[in-house]
Structure 1
């Protein structure tokens, strides 16, 4: 489906703002060229002097203390100190993706400053045989080998059964993770997980490797005279895991990524390199190490490819931490070959998927769901992402196993909440986990037809107009070919690291042409040709007839004509290997075939800061939990002929355990006073919506409170014995609170173009 282009409005910026930007950006503002970066900063809400400083200058950002995790971090550090003093054996339990492998490496190298090698080990589950998380067989092996303390990273928060079993074997657990929290705190020594923070906390978005780094940082602060290696030497590993895991680069995540890229850049210079394995990876992917794309397109895919192809990715920790150049070269070449095989497998799977898609009626297919027993689960997420982007529909690809289950991955597109969509079919699912953009799931194969029909109906109800499935490309700036090059690249680089929540700028080139269009041949380390489509070209216009180099990944030369004028959307990049700047072609239309629309719908973003002199607008004050609430506000704004202003902030909703204690305390107070309280008053006291209040009252009743409900309010009586189903009722409440936290976070961070795309005027 052809994407609709939307061009962000170019605003006439005040001299005060231009001057404020000029203090941090090395360019002569307010020249036309200097305004590029200022326009982008303003578009992304970076408008206040203090925000400008901390966004552009990592050294001005005040990172949060690792002890912001409170008692959990204190207990973790105390238990590690105990293990050190008593000579206990400590095992690190990691995960097989880039975030998990770098987290394992950070703990392995960081704890190695405090423990001798014979007291430490690490384990990485096999992707094919064991999947994510703790497993009983592995814990038994560690217990039999004399290990007494397990420190997880990027995993473990919900492995309650495995933790219980491990404790019967004499194992203590410190969980460091960033994934979904369980309804009840697991019975572990400590659980260091940023999901306990409010969604606006600077540590909330930390990935697994960043949480592991915070634990090591806390040890350094507690035992300042023990370590001989500066803790900051771990930051290159932190940057790799953070950027590869696609977390929102906000707060401390952005800071750690900025500092980590500075450290990573040193690995590309033999005079400063300290990690021969990382240096080898940079050489293999022909990158310099100073850009986030060096990780997202270079190091990250290579590390992730190992478990996708081989299952066992344990050697990647050696690759990242070993000081033996010859050994690292051998391991890096294994990684490169795995990535080559991943590319071929991904290409072949995509071809097979497209063959099945050709049999579908896309006019009646809102969600693409396909399954095959031959597909490799290791690449299904990657292929699903490609298909979703190409066809403009959420895509779910499944492997049909011999055990009667279908397992696979789902990817979303242009703002559709995938988590909500798949969850609508939860009665048919065996397992499911994810977020609005990506998910993993499994279900019985016999349920597959019902699942396909149900999920298509769910999206059809949400988006009845097929035009709403049209992909949108949000363009940041319109430039000419003459604008491309070192100066513009240096300006755009001030926005880096780009990623989730801060995408790389997209540039519009109008009425341009192509020449020297050639197929690029790609070979692996052994000289074998990789059948991966890539086209190289020169792009030019009347402002710059000499032309500027570019590439178009996944496309053939036959798709461009040198005889036709085009409008093109590109990203400006730096090719370290060829020592040149080039554009990466993202989308293409015949010149004038589609006029870019202004950013759709009059929507103002006041979520971060409300203007001192706000324009007249209909303000959405309460943070929504679903698109219906935003749509209702949008319709009211239209009715009043005003823009819609997103004026809400993340509610300070406590974690489920804290909320339950607040609920019980309120119930006890009302029971003692005999006061009758209205529903609205109770909602205000508990800071919940109507549905959550119903679940809260049901939980109070299940726990033994006597409730009397009338039209004029609710009276809570004495406290008696709890019902047999009390645990299940409370768990349902906990799930609702956790879901509300998730949704509040989504609607306070979802980009403005995504919101605009999901809102459609309807007939009054």
Structure 2
């Protein structure tokens, strides 16, 4: 069946009212208003009265913490009572970035009222040995306190709350996750899900709710705090942007204010040495939301993903001990390097499993493996969901349960889908875009079948899409565009980073490189630098393609979707490549006359010949669009494929690698295709297997070169098996394309836009 081919969509150039354009230019002096009005209009920001507050935090009127109503009053009253009675209080956090920063906000905020480590304590569960939320084991370690304040967790832990009560401990819940049907027996539950969906607090994450509790306490006891509450806003920004919440209303305001505070940490005004060192390590300045989403957030999350215990992250974010913070930041950086390698391995293995699945009849991707590291499953699930356009659940298996993470796409409420199978689950929790779950191993096949049926009953399987916001030229990738795009920030759920479509462009790829950790060890995570050109420039524009090799970039004209970035480390603007395909200057809808069948009868007309059976519909589509761009039909002219045993292909590939390393000669991509009879996907898997096997493969000037390197025996067998799986999959498709009726091809082509 056809592979999932992402459909590219571009917003139509709808007329933006001139009055709105002028209003935007008035609110954003110093900009030309070429792009910003259209972006705002597309995203539904059309109320002129709200423009000033949306674009600039200084013009927004933040909502009072009292909007949480009586629950907030009860929470503050109990904490004030604990202060007066000199009771001990514990913060119960969580191990992800939102949970860690929530804990840090309460640690610093409540630390203005309680002596830390004497009357104020914090507890964060271990990702590997515990789960999200309260646990009886953890509560037993807090028997000496009289109050527990949760953050980013706790709403559905009814049994654990009752257990704490039995020990004489009062519980205050601050959270943003799904509420139970009945209010839990707590002193207070401060959760934005108790408010209307259009309330300014509706999308607050855990860290923002924790901040609002501290804000209410500051208002109740204004004479006690010695530090301004604004000092907490950098922590709030990190948690908000790292979590999957919609940045609107007060959520957007807090993120904007928090970034203003965060960028101070890379200056002489720095107040958090741990954050300062983290910014140095990720080579960022803290003035962009992407400094969090691609820099700080992944590093904080990596600690629990690799070590399980994220307890020291709170110390990293709040301590004033420069040397201690430097030590913890570097430990965090090493964990992140290890996370990248694990994430890449699991992604490869998951894709190998996907190759065995008929995705045309799959609504929700559910995969499991006993070897997978549970700490990176959420990240990989997110990558697969985005690439394949389907909600994805990945699980690892221990002796009794399968545990894992789920990520959604295309606005599908994944939490509800999982909840509908509650009778098969041991535990679960989350929100519409992300969830965690565990279930008995014996229930896995039934769960996968049931959740797929549930989604397919609701709607047709979603088609993966990439939505472009603006069509620009390379010459427009300049300061003016950057200034206008920045006013859209902070970006996140509901307000994605603007994607720019560049047509009829081409690439000059640099040498792909592997990252290195602090100890100089290579990390199995690839980045390819490039220069981007089109007819409007005489000098290429720099960019990076993460997770891809240089040879994967097309060699001719193409269309690309990119995101514009400011690389403060290299002091330049650059783009991040999101998607690339052959030029689409001609609308190919219903262009079946551009397809010829020469397998049995050759005609005299000129055509682009497809002489080797493709290994996927994506490869076939690439050939078709290439022919269209040259204004020639595509002729299907391949014979039945010759099928070599996959093991023999691997042995041949190793022989080629030995020959190239010994002779220092090079080979082109086409030479490897012809010699091995494989395509892009299998070649990429083969190169990865070679590098685990003991070779270093580089790609420069459209040629591969090979040298001897250090192998990884633990990973090589698995990498070789992934290569063999990719070869088998491609061979299956080549045999399929050798026999597929021409009418089926014409039907598929007619669906492409």
Q: State TM-score, norm by structure 2.
A: 0.75
Q: Is 1:558 the counterpart of 2:551 in the alignment?
A: yes
Which residue is 1:621 aligned to?
none
Deviations 1:160-199 (A, max 9, x none): 2112121221211221111122222222222211111111
1:442-457 equivalent positions in 2, closer than 5 A:
442-457=438-453
Moved more, 65-74 or 486-495: 65-74
Name segments (4+ residues, structure 1) moved above 6 Å.
none
Moved more, 417-426 or 229-238: 417-426
Q: Any idea what SS the aligned residue of 2:428 has? A: strand
Which residue is 2:60 aligned to?
61
1:342-353 equivalent positions in 2, closer than 5 A:
342-353=339-350
Q: Any idea what SS the aligned residue of 2:386 has? A: helix
Q: Any idea what SS the aligned residue of 2:12 has? A: coil
In the TM superposition, residue 546 of structure 1 has moved relative to its aligned partner by: 0.8
Equivalent of 2:569, from 567, 577, 580? 577
Unaligned runs of 5+ in 1: 598-764
In the TM superposition, residue 596 of structure 1 has moved relative to its aligned partner by: 10
Which residue is 2:126 aligned to?
126
Q: How many Å separate the matches in 1 of 2:31 and 2:489?
A: 20
Which residue is 1:194 aligned to?
192
Q: Any idea what SS the aligned residue of 1:533 has? A: strand
Q: How many Å separate the matches in 2 of 1:180 and 1:413?
A: 19
1:99-110 equivalent positions in 2, closer than 5 A:
99-110=98-109
Q: How many Å separate the matches in 1 of 2:83 and 2:40?
A: 48
Q: How many Å separate the matches in 1 of 2:419 and 2:81?
A: 43
Q: How many Å separate the matches in 1 of 2:587 and 2:577?
A: 18
1:542-557 equivalent positions in 2, closer than 5 A:
542-557=535-550
Deviations 1:374-421 (A, max 9, x none): 111111111112222223332221112201x22212222333332343
Which residue is 1:25 aligned to?
28
Which residue is 2:719 aligned to?
none
Which residue is 1:247 aligned to?
245
Which residue is 1:164 aligned to?
162
Q: How many Å separate the matches in 2 of 1:415 and 1:174?
A: 32
Which residue is 1:3 aligned to?
6
In the TM superposition, residue 104 of structure 1 has moved relative to its aligned partner by: 0.7
- 8 Å Cα contact 1:7-1:596 kept in structure 2: no
Q: How many Å separate the matches in 2 of 1:414 and 1:323?
A: 43
Which residue is 1:491 aligned to?
484
In the TM superposition, residue 263 of structure 1 has moved relative to its aligned partner by: 0.1
Deviations 1:236-259 (A, max 9, x none): 000000111121101100000000
Q: How many Å separate the matches in 2 of 1:251 and 1:155?
A: 22
In the TM superposition, residue 301 of structure 1 has moved relative to its aligned partner by: 0.6
Which residue is 2:508 aligned to?
515
Distance 1:240 1:6, change over 3 A: same
In the TM superposition, residue 28 of structure 1 has moved relative to its aligned partner by: 4.9
Q: Is 1:16 the counterpart of 2:8 in the alignment?
A: no
Q: Any idea what SS the aligned residue of 2:67 has? A: helix
Equivalent of 2:527, from 524, 527, 534? 534
Q: Any idea what SS the aligned residue of 1:521 has? A: strand
1:334-483 equivalent positions in 2, closer than 5 A:
334-403=331-400, 405-464=401-460, 468-483=461-476
In the TM superposition, residue 456 of structure 1 has moved relative to its aligned partner by: 3.0
Which residue is 1:743 aligned to?
none
1:173-192 equivalent positions in 2, closer than 5 A:
173-192=171-190
Q: How many Å separate the matches in 2 of 1:210 and 1:399?
A: 31
In the TM superposition, residue 463 of structure 1 has moved relative to its aligned partner by: 4.2
Q: Is 1:256 the counterpart of 2:254 in the alignment?
A: yes
Distance 1:365 1:176, change over 3 A: closer
In the TM superposition, residue 15 of structure 1 has moved relative to its aligned partner by: 2.7
- 8 Å Cα contact 1:160-1:186 kept in structure 2: yes
Could you say what the CA RMSD is over the residues aligned between the two structures, in angstroms?
A: 1.8
- 8 Å Cα contact 1:6-1:596 kept in structure 2: no
Distance 1:61 1:28, change over 3 A: closer
Q: How many Å separate the matches in 1 of 2:310 and 2:92?
A: 13
In the TM superposition, residue 444 of structure 1 has moved relative to its aligned partner by: 2.1
In the TM superposition, residue 593 of structure 1 has moved relative to its aligned partner by: 6.9
Q: Is 1:291 the counterpart of 2:288 in the alignment?
A: yes
- 8 Å Cα contact 1:411-1:439 kept in structure 2: yes
- 8 Å Cα contact 2:265-2:286 kept in structure 1: yes
Equivalent of 2:304, from 296, 307, 313? 307
In the TM superposition, residue 424 of structure 1 has moved relative to its aligned partner by: 4.2
- 8 Å Cα contact 2:509-2:550 kept in structure 1: no
Moved more, 57-66 or 74-83: 74-83
Deviations 1:118-161 (A, max 9, x none): 21111111111121111222222222xx3111111111122221
Which residue is 1:738 aligned to?
none
Which residue is 1:275 aligned to?
272
Unaligned runs of 5+ in 2: 590-753
Which residue is 1:98 aligned to?
97
Q: Any idea what SS the aligned residue of 2:15 has? A: coil
Q: Is 1:567 the counterpart of 2:559 in the alignment?
A: yes
Q: How many Å separate the matches in 2 of 1:133 and 1:217?
A: 24
Distance 1:176 1:364, change over 3 A: closer
- 8 Å Cα contact 1:99-1:154 kept in structure 2: yes
Q: Is 1:72 the counterpart of 2:64 in the alignment?
A: no
Q: How many Å separate the matches in 2 of 1:426 and 1:86?
A: 43
- 8 Å Cα contact 1:178-1:207 kept in structure 2: yes
- 8 Å Cα contact 2:544-2:576 kept in structure 1: yes
Which residue is 1:622 aligned to?
none
Distance 1:593 1:462, change over 3 A: farther
Deviations 1:612-643 (A, max 9, x none): xxxxxxxxxxxxxxxxxxxxxxxxxxxxxxxx
Deviations 1:196-225 (A, max 9, x none): 111111112111111111111111111111
Moved more, 516-525 or 538-547: 516-525
Q: How many Å separate the matches in 1 of 2:576 and 2:247?
A: 22
Q: How many Å separate the matches in 2 of 1:81 and 1:425?
A: 42
Q: How many Å separate the matches in 1 of 2:447 and 2:188?
A: 39
